[in-house]
Structures are given as C-alpha cells and as structure tokens.
Amino acid sequence: MEIFPISLKLQQQPCLIVGGGHIAYRKALLLTQAGAVLDVLSPEIDAQLLALLQQSGGHYHQAKFQPDFPWSDYRLVIAATDDAEVNRQVFDACEALKVLVNSVDDPPNCRFMVPAIIDRSPLVISIASNGTSPVLSRQIRTQLETSIPHGMGKLAKFSGEWRPAVKAKIGNPDERRIFWENLYASPLREQVFNDNLAEAERMMQQALDEWQTPKGEVYLVGAGPGDPELLTLKALRLMQQADVVIYDRLVSAPILNLCRRDAEKVYVGKARSNHAVPQEGINALLVEYAQQGKRVCRLKGGDPFIFGRGGEEIQELFAAGVPFQVVPGVTAASGCSAYAGIPLTHRDYAQSVRFLTGHLKEGSPELPWSELVYENQTLVLYMGLVGLEKICRELIAHGQRPDMPVALISKGTTPEQKVVVGTLADIADKVSEHHIQAPTLTIIGEVVRLRDQLKWQ
Ligand code: SAH
C-alpha cells in the first residue's frame, strides 16, 4: 500500500491554508465543512475566502511565506498558492516540524493527499490514487455516488446510537458482526432510509431481544477458472461474509483477495498426488469450523461438482448435520474454451462434448477408449500433462485420426493464459518445446480448428 488512509476529526481544530485565491477557497470550503478553525496566510485574499474565514472563527495573517511562521500550531497545512516554489517552501517548513502538509496538485510536495469524497455523514468514503490520477478517483466517486443511497448516512447514525446496546447484549465480536450484517439485510434498513425511526427502533429492539447464537454453515463455492470477473454474484457475496475461507491451489490470488479481508484463510493445497491436507482432513476441518458456529467458505477452482470432490465434502457435512449451500462456478472447460476461442460444440463439427479426467487412482489413465473415438464429439481432459502422451497414443490405436486437432490451454482465463495447438500425433512433442505451466486443460476435436477464426484474446 503506497498511502495509508485515515479519517481525521477536525472539529474545532486549527488548520492553515497558505494562499488567498480560488484554489485556497475550494480547500477552505472542505475544511470548514469538517468543522475546522481556519487560518489563512497570504499577502492578498479573496472576499469569499475572507468571509468563510471569519465564519469559522479563524485569523487572516496578511503576509508572505515566512520560514519561522508558527507552523506547528496547526493540525494540518494546505499550500494552495499559484507559486510552486512557495508551495515547496511550505512543504519543507512543515516537514521539518512533522506537521501534516498538502500542496494542491503537487504530489511530491505532499505528506497527505486530499481524496475524492462521498459524504453520507457520519459515513464518509474517500478515494485516493496517491496523486497518480485524480480524474480516475473522481470517476469512481461518481459511480459510487449513484450506487450508495443517501439514506446510508442515516443508517450509520442509527447504528452508532445502538452500538453500545448491541455490544452489551452480544459479547462475541464475530457474532456481533453477523447480527449487524443480518440487520442491514432486513427491512429495518428501508425504515431508516424513509425516516420511519419509531418503527426502526421497534424492529431493532425486537432483533436484539430475539437474538440467538447462529449455527455454523458451510458454503461450497466454485471460484471459476482464474479470472475474478467470472465469479458469480452469489460466490462473491458469500466470500465476503465468511469467517473462514478454506481454499486450494486452483484458487487464483486475485480471487482470494476478494474474500473478506479479516476472514481466516486456510490453504489446503491439492497439488496432484501431493495433497497439502488429505481429503479426509479437509472434510474434518469443514465440520470442525462449522461446529464452532463459523460461516465457512470452501472455495474451489472451477465448479465444485466437476472433478472437484465437492460431493465428498458435503456428504461429510450432511452426516455431521452441518447446514451447507453449493454455489456453481464456471468450470475450466467453459472458461478455457471461451478464452481460447474454441467453442465446445458447433453445428458443423461437434454435437456432443465429454469431460474426462486422467487422474486415475493408479496414476496411469485407463479410459473407455472406444467410446472416445466418435466423430463430432469434443473431448475435454481435466488433468495435468502427465498421461497426455499415452492418451493420444491410445486414441490413435483405437481408430482416431492422428491429425485430429488438440489444444492445450495453460492457466486459462488468467493474464498468463497460453494455448498450444497441435494434433494427436504431435501435441506431446509440442508440449516439451513450450514451457507450459499447470494447470492445463486439453481439448480434442475438430472444434479446435475454429480457433484460427475465433481467437479473440
Ligand atoms: N473443479 C474444477 C476442476 C478441478 S480438476 C473445474 O470445474 O474447473 C483440476 C484440473 O482442472 C486441472 O488439472 C486442469 O486440467 C483443469 N483446470 C482448472 N483450472 C484451469 C485453468 N485455469 N486453466 C487450465 N486448466 C484448468
């Protein structure tokens, strides 16, 4: 993190603006809205700014920059002159005394930046880009302005008034969080937005009186193949409300970052034949956390019910009486084929598609070969590269054409996606020529040829 956002209480606090023109006035408006007592240091001053100054109870120091000005009397200083050199001098003087200082539109001469602000007081949202792009920050502000109801401020104020009562009733902080989350998802929210405060108070009291420690729950969530934008809305919502996230190797870092920041994150590995935590251990872990009353998000690559052992995990939950939900995800076959420009079916080339895994228990793939050599059928292999050579050989031995196209997609849908195209006869050799990283998906079928036209990535 390049900058650290804080929210400053400025009521009745002395602040200084250096400069007396329009830029100074704009900053002064913001500071007085936050309740600061403003002083201005400048040889000249606009009438508007002077009026504001008098309103806030501050002083006008009619003078040029002086190094020995009492800078440290101020909580913060804003240099808002049109002279870059003066702004720099103000910065240096304040830095020497460790007084927070900002120079308008001059990031190198800033200790703090003034963010773009969305004011739903007492809720205030600030957006900052460390001086790299104020326009981008403002655009984001515009987007948020339209999506955050104005009543949010009232809801924050209402919550603040009830906080002590909620804390007194519900001692456990995790449980308290769940109480508030449930409350914000309830009709109470609309009552506050519409100023029906008596009804809101009644609902709040009832919610508190009827509160019971919640039971734990497991969300078995498909995280998709890698691109975070392929997450479902439901996956994202549950990822953000879980207390614990149990994830494996296929879950990409950007997706993990979308989970609730303070959720406990548990890595349970799952590299091929080298499970960091064996499946039985994972099953037991899910049950254990849920029995502690936690909301557990079991996050899995792709779709949990496609070669994901999701079924085994929820069988165990079912046996232990732990409630669960299953959220489907975009499976690797869908994600990789879409991002590689290879439709899995096409009226001219394939009327069926078959998903297979080569991860068989003995380590060597034994598949129903003769069922796999139909024309007009696409095969999708969920497995690493081990066994690929044997699969190609067996398909040819069982009658498939050696020139049947094959595509290997590595790290599909991520910025590192790589696609290697060949045929049953030569794909294994091509693999050794290219540096291909796990995970990889193999697509076999005439549809692979369509990539020449449909490649869009
Ligand atoms: N449940 C997952 C599959 C787990 S099996 C799903 O529905 O996608 C693991 C195999 O999935 C890997 O060996 C690889 O063949 C495939 N796979 C998963 N994500 C992938 C990705 N981003 N790119 C390529 N292959 C992937």
Confidence at 361, pLDDT banded by 50, 70, 90: low
* CA dist., res. 159 & res. 204, Å (int): 10
Helices (H), 122-151: 134-147
Cis-peptide into 43, omega within 30 deg: no
The whole-number pLDDT of residue 274 equals 54
Does residue 301 sit in the same domain as residue 402? Answer: no
Q: pLDDT at position 360, please?
A: 53
Nearest CA among 359, 451, 373 for reference residue 412: 451
**What's the residue count for the chain?**
457
Sort residue 418 into left (φ over 0), alpha (ψ -120 to 50) or beta: beta
Q: Is residue 421 part of a domain?
A: yes
**Segment 336-350 mean pLDDT:** 97
Using the structure block, give the residue that is written with the tokens 């076959």: 333
pLDDT for res 206: 96
Cα 396 to middle of ligand 1, angstroms = 25
Six-digit token string for 300 = 């899995």
The predicted model gives 374-381 an average pLDDT of: 94
Q: What is the pLDDT of residues 22-45, one digit of tens each?
A: 999 999 999 999 999 999 999 999
Quick check: CB of 301 below 6 Å from ligand 1? yes
**Which of 330, 352, 384 is at the close of a domain?**
330
Is 370 inside a domain boundary? yes
With a 6 Å cutoff on the Cβ, whether 250 touches ligand 1 is yes
Give the global pTM.
0.77
User: Does residue 307 sit in the same domain as residue 351?
Assistant: no
Q: ∠ CA(130), CA(136), CA(155), 5° rounding?
A: 90
Q: Of 303, 355, 340, which Cα lies nearest the Cα of 447? A: 340
> Whole-number mean pLDDT of the chain?
93
Q: Residue 271: is its pLDDT beyond 60?
A: no
- Clarify whether residues 89 and 162 are in a common domain: no
Task: Tell me: do 315 and 338 sit in the same domain.
Answer: no
Asked if 57 and 37 count as a contact pair (C-beta separation under 8 A), the reply is yes
CATH number of the domain at 58, please. Answer: 3.40.50.720
- State the pLDDT confidence band at 276, using cuts at 50, 70 and 90: low
Q: What is the pLDDT of residue 387?
A: 86
Instruction: Give the full edge-to-edge strand order of the sheet including 244-247.
Output: 264-267, 244-247, 295-300, 217-222, 324-327
Which comes out higher in pLDDT, residue 215 or 157?
A: 157
383 assigned to some structural domain: yes
pLDDT single digits (tens) 186-227 = 999 999 999 999 999 999 999 999 999 888 999 999 999 999
**pLDDT attached to residue 134:** 86
Residues 6+ apart with CB under 8 A from 23: 80, 82, 104
Instruction: Ligand 1, residue 413: give the atom nearest the CA.
Output: 22
Check pLDDT > 60 for residue 300. Answer: yes
- Residue 204 domain-assigned (yes or no): yes
Considering only CA atoms, which of 383, 371, 356, 353 is closest in space to residue 447?
353
Q: Give, as one character, the DSSP assignment of residue 12.
A: T
Binding site membership of 308 for ligand 1 (Cβ less than 6 Å): yes
Regarding whether 422 and 358 lie in a shared domain, the answer is yes
Q: What is the CATH number of the domain that holds 417?
A: 3.30.950.10
User: Rounded to the nearest whole angstrom, what is the distance from the C-alpha of residue 221 to the centroid of ligand 1?
Assistant: 15
User: Whole-angstrom Cα distance, residue 354 to residue 372?
Assistant: 9
| Separation between Cα atoms, residue 86 and residue 109, nearest integer Å | 11
Q: Is 124 exposed, middle or buried (0-12, 13-18, 19+ CB in 10 A)?
A: middle
Digit-coded pLDDT (tens) for 399-449 = 999 999 999 999 999 999 999 999 999 999 998 888 888 899 999 999 999
CA gap 122, 299 in Å, rounded: 35
Q: How far apart are CA 50 and CA 42, in angstroms?
A: 11
Mean pLDDT computed over 98-106: 95
- Going by pLDDT thresholds of 50, 70 and 90, the confidence category of residue 349 is very high
**C-alpha of residue 97 to centroid of ligand 1, in Å:** 57
236-259 pLDDT, tens digit each: 999 999 999 999 999 999 999 999
Same domain, 263 and 366: no
* Lowest-confidence segment of 50-64, 258-272, 326-340 by average pLDDT: 258-272
Closest CA to 366 of 375, 378, 356: 356
pLDDT of residue 431: 87
pLDDT of residue 131: 85
pLDDT higher than 80, residue 282? yes
Is the C-beta atom of 334 inside 6 A of ligand 1?
no
Let me know whether 293 and 326 are in one domain: yes
Residues noted as catalytic:
248, 270
Check pLDDT > 80 for residue 160.
yes
pLDDT at 213: 86
Shared domain for 287 and 393, answered yes or no, is: no
Say if CB 378 and CB 346 are below 8 A apart. Answer: no
Please report which confidence band the pLDDT of residue 109 belongs to, taking 50, 70 and 90 as the band edges. Answer: very high
The residue range of the domain holding 259 is: 217-330
Kindly give the distance from the C-alpha atom of residue 394 to the centroid of ligand 1, in angstroms, as a whole number: 23
Predicted confidence (pLDDT) at residue 56 exceeds the cutoff of 90:
no
Tally of structural domains, the chain:
4
Final residue of a structural domain among 310, 330, 350: 330
DSSP, residue by residue, 165-200:
HHHHH---HHHHHHHHHHHHTSTHHHHHHTT-HHHH
Helix (H) / strand (E) element for 16: namely: strand 14-18
Tell me the C-alpha distance between 352 and 345, whole Å: 6
Q: Percentage of the chain with pLDDT > 70? A: 97
Which residue out of 330, 337, 441, 442 has the highest number of ligand 1 atoms within 8 Å of its CB and is therefore the one to mutate? Answer: 441
Number of the ligand 1 atom closest to the C-alpha atom of 333: 8
Q: Is there a single domain that holds both residue 73 and residue 185?
A: no
* pLDDT score, position 270: 55
DSSP code, position 76: E
**Does some domain include residue 287?**
yes
**DSSP readout, 244-300?**
EEEE-TTS-HHHHTTS-TTSEEEE---BTTB-SS-HHHHHHHHHHHHHTT-EEEEEE
Residue 146 resides in a domain: no
Q: Does 339 contact ligand 1 (Cβ within 6 A)?
A: no
One domain for residues 387 and 274: no
3-state class of 325 per DSSP? strand
Query: Can you tell me the distance from the alpha carbon of 351 to that of 353, in angstroms, rounded to the nearest whole number?
Result: 7
Whole-angstrom distance, CA of residue 6 vs CA of residue 369: 63
The answer on 174 and 203 residing in a single domain is: yes
One domain, residues 450 and 350? yes
The enclosing domain of 165 has a CATH number of: 1.10.8
Residue 297's CATH number: 3.40.1010.10
Q: Is residue 120 in some structural domain?
A: no
- Among 165, 191, 209, the domain-final residue is 209
Q: Assess contact for 101 and 91: CB atoms under 8 A.
A: yes
pLDDT of residue 395: 95
3-class SS letters over 78-92: EECCCCHHHHHHHHH
Residue 377 lies in a domain: yes
